[in-house]
Chain A
Amino acid sequence: MNGWGIIQGLGVTLKHFLKTYLEDIRKGKGRYFTEEGVRERSASSVTGVFTVQYPEEKLILPEEFRYLPFLVYDELPDQERKIRCTSCGICAKVCPPQCIWIKRAIDPDTGRPKPTPAEFYIDVDICMNCGFCAEYCPFDAIKMDHDYEIASFDRKAEHVYSMEKLLKSASYYEEIRPKNFAREEAARLEKEAKTS
């Protein structure tokens, strides 16, 4: 009693307070606004200032980070885009809040369905970012994006993402998820080698 516990507790806060300055002095300038500095301040050994100065610096996202889904297209040599989606509908079926709408393309000549989507919508005001669509897509056609800077002023106009807004290139996918991309490419090449 006699307040000794309080004094001990205050000692802890004082130590925290001093460390914020001592660490900055010790580590010097590279501690802020560099990727290394951010990495260091989010490591488990961090002491001192813990704040990431968003938007000047951003936390380094892990590869598996998921936000909203996007559709992947492969870039063909002559500026053409090959949409990977075959409109099999698994993502729409597995989606827990049912926020995906797919319209399968119809071949105008035969009237039969074509393995590509004519329209593809995701209502991001329903999407729960669970990642099931990406996880169960057998064609690696839908993936989870890393982009979280998507606040808007008008949801009715902007929050139902159409296919045009959802499509992103495979090279973008490779950029945000290099390891997954490499693994899937290897599996695809292996499969192709087997079938040919």
Chain B
Amino acid sequence: MSVEKPVVSLADLCSRYEGLLVPDERQGFEGYLISPDHLISFCRSLRDDVGYDYLSSVTGVDNFPAEQMEVVYHFYRTTGGPSFNLKLQVSRHNPVVPSLVPLYPGADFQEREAWDLLGIRFEGHPDLRRIMMWEGFEGFPLRKDWREPFFEDEAKPFKSRWPDGQVIRSEDQNPYKNNVRYPNDFDPEQWTPVGDDALYKGMLNLSQNIQSEFKTDQIVVNLGPQHPSTHGVFRMVVVLEGETVLSLKPVMGYLHRNHEKIGERNTFLQNMPFTDRLDYISSMSNNFGYALAVEKLMGIRPPERAEYIRVMMAELTRFLNHIFSIGFLLNDLGAFFTPALYAIEERELILDVFEAVSGSRMMCNYFRFGGVARDLPDGVLEKIKELVNDRLPRKLEEFERYLTKNDLVRIRCEGVGVLSPEEAIALSAAGPILRASGVPYDVRRADPYSIYDRFDFDVAYGLHGDIYDRYLVRVEEMRQSLRILKQVVRDIPEGPIMSGKPQYQARVPPGEAYGRVEGPKGELGFYVVSNGKPNPWRYHVRAPSFINLTSLATMAKNQKIADVVAILGSIDIVLGEVDR
């Protein structure tokens, strides 16, 4: 990573673009508006001269009924600091925006997502296909005037539930008696599925350019969506020559559960349990990110004790996520289930804590705006203390003795799936992937939130960017989490756990907020726009698993097919978050 001094300051750059760059003056909004014509040149200067080298998130916003679409970019410096928000406004009829992929390759999937769900066309994007839905799907579902087949009302709570609630299944209200809708005059017998031709065609064209010494056939192999090593319903299309991967394309959307569309119908509070189901292994972290975003909008902060409880839960989550992911990485390497079984044993003990605190093992739904749902029940803090001070360090050490120096693990992992620091930044990789490549970027340090500035901990990072370093970074992060936890259980104060009275209808003033936390899988961001109503106007999740997958193709290139499985395991994806 280059830490050269920026050539110009941000203020310089902004003054150079005076007149073209307009501050966003809507109440509660920040950042700048720019016209599409100047986006590329401005962003080039922003990246090269000012040092905003990390494109965190690309969000499309539909400003219906205004004839306007908006694209919001959040840029960061990998040396730390707050974000720079840039916005583009284009006509809703024909929204065309220049693609940022040539400058920030990490925008690839995010732009495809905005195209898929909102119909914003990114000019210059190398592969603008649908990503969540399939080719041929009718409409752009996240547009405000697009209604799902089971549409009942613009916003929750639905009026049919009370006071005169007659239970009706949504199926019975739909003319097709199913969750479907078709265009007028649609004749299903005439329909030919579009299929994956565009996908395969692009890949084979790409691979024909490669010259090989030996004359071998190139074959296309589909791994998934039902494959034991893809960690869920994920699909990889691989072009192979012999056993070597020439190119790889991830295909997702098999678990696209319309999180954002549902989220915009929900009230602010109702979204909280839905965030549990994003990265369903680490629900507490998801709660944390969403609570931060909405609290930013509401302008409230939780009381001291709640902050400590939050950090405690988030770090326990990080521990259990990492130990789980290492267990399953070993599964992918072929150590069938034994390491995973040992990992799950520790995970179960932490889940017991979550169950006692929140009521559910996985779907905790524990955070509230301005605090947490309930105080720690009797005996739980003691249990956490036992875990943190005794059990988990001991088991972590045993885990390391078991795996770290294991020759087979090292042979399979060292030098495989290498991602250079430059590539990692450009591809917007986050979390352990980014840090294993030698970029010590951790949101807890770079842009501290909650009370992380009070704790002593080191940011773990690797040097080689291979699978083995990712493994080591995760182990070291678990150790650092335990270090934070020890400080938390030592210092946790008594006091209230909620600022103000618990309300089921949060009053959120108009504005936008981007709340981000360092989740176990990387930077987890929630972009929330409120228009003062009980429901968010726009609710977007910057999912680390999803964006980390952008780098999969780079890592897998020229590797052996057997290693692709291990590389995927080392990224540690959760499909609930990838597809949302």
Please report A residues at the B interface, Cβ cutoff 8 Å: 1-6, 8-9, 11-13, 16, 42, 44-46, 50, 61-66, 87, 89-90, 92-96, 98, 100-104, 113, 119, 121, 123, 128-132, 135-136, 144, 160, 179
Which A residues lie within 8 Å of B219 (CB)?
none
Please report B residues at the A interface, Cβ cutoff 8 Å: 152, 156-158, 160-167, 169, 266-267, 269-274, 276-277, 338, 342, 345, 348-349, 352, 355-360, 363, 365, 373-374, 377-378, 383, 386-387, 390-391, 398, 401-410, 502, 504
Let me know if A123 and B345 touch, CB within 8 A: no
Let me know if A92 and B162 touch, CB within 8 A: yes
Let me know if B365 and A5 touch, CB within 8 A: no
Chain B residue at smallest Cβ distance from A113? B163
Report the minimal beta-carbon distance from A17 to chain B, rounded to whole angstroms: 10
User: In the bound complex, how far is the Cα of B167 from the Cα of A160, in angstroms?
Assistant: 9
Let me know if A144 and B401 touch, CB within 8 A: no
Report the minimal beta-carbon distance from A52 to chain B, rounded to whole angstroms: 10
Let me know if A129 and B363 touch, CB within 8 A: yes
Let me know if B377 and A1 touch, CB within 8 A: no
Which A residues lie within 8 Å of B407 (CB)?
1-6
Let me know if B163 and A104 touch, CB within 8 A: yes
A103 contacts which of B166, B274, B383 (Cβ < 8 Å)? B166
User: In the bound complex, how far is the Cα of B398 from the Cα of A135, in angstroms?
Assistant: 41
Let me know if A94 and B504 touch, CB within 8 A: yes
Let me know if B391 and A129 touch, CB within 8 A: no
Residue among B270, B358, B377 having the largest count of chain A Cβ atoms under 10 Å: B270
A45 contacts which of B160, B161, B162, B391 (Cβ < 8 Å)? B391
Let me know if B274 and A50 touch, CB within 8 A: no
Residue among A4, A61, A62 having the largest count of chain B Cβ atoms under 10 Å: A62
Let me know if A130 and B365 touch, CB within 8 A: yes
Given contacts A8-B401, A64-B356, contact A101 B161 (CB under 8 A): yes
7 contacts between A and B (CB under 8 A): A2-B407, A64-B355, A90-B504, A96-B270, A100-B162, A135-B373, A179-B378
Report the minimal beta-carbon distance from A192 to chain B, rounded to whole angstroms: 21
Let me know if A102 and B359 touch, CB within 8 A: no
Report the minimal beta-carbon distance from A169 to chain B, rounded to whole angstroms: 21
Report the minimal beta-carbon distance from B424 to chain A, rounded to whole angstroms: 28
Let me know if A93 and B360 touch, CB within 8 A: no
Let me know if B359 and A131 touch, CB within 8 A: yes
Let me know if A89 and B163 touch, CB within 8 A: yes
Which A residues lie within 8 Å of B349 (CB)?
42, 44, 46
Which A residues lie within 8 Å of B161 (CB)?
89, 92-93, 95, 98, 100-102
Report the minimal beta-carbon distance from B559 to chain A, rounded to whole angstroms: 23
Which A residues lie within 8 Å of B338 (CB)?
13
